[in-house]
Structure 1
Amino acid sequence: MAGDRWNYQVVEVKPGFMGLSREVVQEKLVQLGLQGWELVSVVQSHPFKPVQMYLKKPM
């Protein structure tokens, strides 16, 4: 919609000793979703690098 304004947030989830588990990412997404954030994109350059999640929510 043309008049919509958004807040944006980048959240980084760091892997543990054994890498990054799906459960850790899912729990973080649930927490953010409850705050009104919507996932737009995810970037992970390497399996043992942090996952960057790009989110938005209406102002």
Structure 2
Amino acid sequence: MSKRWSYLTVEVKPTWTGLKAEDIQAELNRQGQLGWELVNTLVSTPMGVALLVFKKEL
């Protein structure tokens, strides 16, 4: 039987100075503690929102 996955996307919004590494790190740690694994990060523009894509096995 193949594995089944659930997916989660989380937006990390930049401050007026841009994306902060500590904001992304905090979100990664928060979701990791809940059992989510990061599979991709998308940033549309250098000063844009970071979209974190996570998965978790059902």
TM bracket (short chain) = over 0.9
Counterpart of 1:8 in structure 2 is: 7
Counterpart of 2:33 in structure 1 is: 34
Structure 1 unmatched runs, 5+? none
Name the SS for the 1:23 alignment partner.
Answer: helix
Counterpart of 1:55 in structure 2 is: 54
Q: TM-score, normalised by structure 2?
A: 0.93
**Runs of 4 or more off by more than 3 Å in structure 1?**
none
The amino acid of 1:46's aligned partner reads T
Cα distance in 1 between the residues matched to 2:22 and 2:47: 16
Q: TM-score, normalised by structure 1?
A: 0.91
- What is the number of equivalent residue pairs in this alignment? 58
- Cα root mean square deviation, aligned: 0.9
Structure 2 unmatched runs, 5+? none
Cα distance in 1 between the residues matched to 2:36 and 2:49: 19
Name the SS for the 2:2 alignment partner.
Answer: coil
Give % identity. 40
